[in-house]
Amino acid sequence: MKQVFEHVGLADTHTDLMRNIVSLRISQDLFDDLSDNPAERDAAVALELTTKPRLFASPQPVIQRPFEEAAWNEAVRYPFTHWMLSRYSDGSFGVWYGADSVETSIHETVHHWRTGLLADAGFQRPDIRLERKVYRVRCDAALVDLRPAITHEAALLDPDDYTLTHQIGTKLQREGHPGLVTRSARCNGDVYAILNPGVLSSPRQACLLTYVTTADGGVRVEREPDSTWMRLP
């Protein structure tokens, strides 16, 4: 790891980053098929609300939900309150990931969809669909720039082994750095790993996407329903 930090830079970052998350194009009633009894459906809604942050709990969410706070919660807050294993975290702290473009975010998230949910479930058939939402989120921070170190340490872009990147993420989080920028391991774009939500602001919806598996093992990406915008092999 010492060799990596001998070659890093500092990226004074003031730009929008793309945050690509699972979402729905059209909201759905998650409980409409559980029961025809209104009381039982109300009980299911009440139980679901107990898992929400208290700020958003409401029996009338359409009327009372604070939309600005909801966008922040969806686009920024979640990974800082739901820690998980990722490229730059061993699961002991949260990391928010963004990309320099919608295309880079697609390459990253399609990879994790394939190697995660689809692989775990054994889904290898065509026409499996996943709906997603992309946010623009402002980032203002001096970020550790790992890109100059890539030519000296190939493990920074290892597609599967996160040993080195876990060490780097843990060091930066422990020392209080706001985050880092590096090259994507999936394409030629740049990705950002943010450790401090205070450097993120102004989440705005950029677009909606649908991922569709194809018969040749690829993934087709739609921005408009039933219209192919991008293909990944």
Closest by Cα among 163, 195, 202, 198 to 180:
195
| Structure-token pair, residue 175 | 């020392």
Look at residue 7 and tell me whether its pLDDT is greater than 70.
Answer: yes
| CA–CA separation, 210 and 228 (whole Å) | 9
Q: What pLDDT is recorded for position 57?
A: 47
Rg of the chain over all Cα atoms, to the nearest angstrom: 19
Of residues 120 and 27, more confidence is placed in: 120
Q: Are 153 and 3 in contact (CB under 8 A)?
A: yes
| CA–CA separation, 147 and 220 (whole Å) | 30
Q: What is the pTM of this model?
A: 0.83
Please give the torsion angle defined by the CA atoms of residues 33, 35, 41 and 47, in that order, rounded to the nearest 10 degrees.
-80
Number of helices and strands in the chain (H, E): 8, 10
Look at residue 58 and tell me whether its pLDDT is greater than 50.
Answer: no
Q: Are 191 and 181 in contact (CB under 8 A)?
A: yes
Look at residue 62 and tell me whether its pLDDT is greater than 90.
Answer: no
Q: Are 147 and 121 in contact (CB under 8 A)?
A: no
- pLDDT averaged over the chain? 89
Look at residue 145 and tell me whether its pLDDT is greater than 50.
Answer: yes
Look at residue 55 and tell me whether its pLDDT is greater than 50.
Answer: no
Phi, psi (rounded to 5 degrees) for 195: -105, -10
Query: Which sign, positive or negative, has the C-alpha torsion 111, 103, 177, 143?
Result: positive
Q: What pLDDT is recorded for position 68?
A: 61
Per-residue model confidence as pLDDT tens digits over 154-164: 999 999 999 99
DSSP conformation class of 139: E
